[in-house]
Amino acid sequence: MNAVELTRRIVRIDTINPKSPERPCADLLGKLLGDAGYEVRLHEFAPGRASLVARREGGGKPLAFVGHLDTVPLGAAPWSRDPFAGETQEGRLYGRGSSDMKSGVAAMVAAALDLSRAPLRKAGLTLVLVAGEETGCEGAAHLARVPGALGEARAMVVGEPTGNRPVVGHKGALWLRVRFRGVTAHGSMPEKGKNAVYAAARALLALADLRFEVAPDPLLGGPTLNVGTFSGGMNVNSVPDEATFTVDMRTIPSQRHAEIRARIQTMLGADAEITPLVDLEGIRTAEDDPFVRTVLEATSAATGEKQEPGAATYFTDASVLTPAYGGIPTVVLGPGEMALCHQTDEYCLISRVEAAVAAYAGIAQKVCGA
Ligand SMILES: [Zn+2]
* Alpha-carbon span 252 to 286, nearest angstrom: 14
The domains found in the chain, sorted by start residue, are 3-170+283-368 (3.40.630.10), 172-280 (3.30.70.360)
Is the pLDDT at 51 greater than 90? The verdict is yes
Residue 91 pLDDT:
97
Residue in 339, 340, 332 with CA at minimum distance from that of residue 65: 332
Measured CA to CA, the distance from residue 318 to residue 175 in angstroms comes to 18
- Compute, in angstroms, the gap from residue 99 CA to the centroid of ligand 1: 8
DSSP 192: G
Q: With a cut of 90, say whether residue 188 has pLDDT above it.
A: yes
Mean pLDDT value of segment 258-280 = 96
Mean pLDDT throughout 149-168? 98
The Cα 215–Cα 303 span in angstroms is 34
Distance CA 107, CA 103 (A): 6
The CA 289 to ligand 1 mean position distance, Å, reads: 25
Distance 137 CA to ligand 1 centre (A): 10
How close is the Cα of 125 to the center of ligand 1, in Å? 22
Distance 118 CA to ligand 1 centre (A): 30
- On whether the CB atoms of residues 281 and 323 are closer than 8 A, the answer is yes
Q: Name the CA dihedral angle for 89, 90, 94, 98, rounded to a multiple of 10 degrees.
A: 140
What's the pLDDT tens digit per position in 193-217?
Answer: 999 999 999 999 999 999 999 999 9
Give the mean pLDDT of the chain.
Answer: 97
| 171 Cα: distance to centroid of ligand 1 (angstroms) | 15
Classify residue 144 by burial, with Cβ atoms within 10 Å: 0-12, 13-18, 19+. Answer: middle
Q: What percent of the chain has pLDDT over 70?
A: 100
User: Which tens digit of pLDDT belongs to each residue from 109-119?
Assistant: 999 999 999 99
Which distant-in-sequence residues (6+ apart) come within 8 Å of 137 by Cβ? 130, 280, 315, 317, 319, 320
29-39: average pLDDT: 98
Q: Which candidate, 110, 21, 2, places its Cα nearest to that of 69?
A: 21
pLDDT at 1 exceeding the cut of 90: no
Helices vs strands, H then E, count in the chain: 9, 16
Cα(101) to ligand 1 centroid in Å equals 5
pLDDT, position 236: 97
All residues with CB under 5 Å from ion ligand 1: 100-101, 160
pLDDT in tens, 36-46: 999 999 999 99
Q: What is the pLDDT of residue 313?
A: 81
Asked whether the beta carbons of 334 and 161 are under 8 A apart, the reply is: yes
Cβ within 8 Å of residue 33, ≥6 positions away:
40, 52, 54, 109, 112, 113, 127
268 C-alpha to center of ligand 1: Å?
34
CA angle (345, 277, 215) in 5-degree steps? 90
* Reported confidence tier of residue 363, pLDDT bands at 50, 70, 90: very high
- For residues 176 and 174, what is the distance between their CA atoms, to the nearest angstrom? 6
Q: Could you tell me the distance, in angstroms and rounded to a whole number, from the CA of residue 124 to the centre of ligand 1?
A: 25
pTM listed for this prediction: 0.91
pLDDT higher than threshold 90 for residue 356: yes
pLDDT given at position 71: 97
> Tens digit of pLDDT for each residue in 299-346?
999 999 999 999 998 899 999 999 999 999 999 999 999 999 899 999
Given a cut of 90, whether residue 135 has pLDDT beyond it is no
Q: How far is the CA of 188 from the centre of ligand 1 (A)?
A: 52
User: According to the model, what pLDDT value does residue 364 have?
Assistant: 98
Q: Are 254 and 214 in contact (CB under 8 A)?
A: yes
Residue 50 confidence (pLDDT): 98
Residues 274 and 120: their CA atoms lie apart, in Å, by: 49
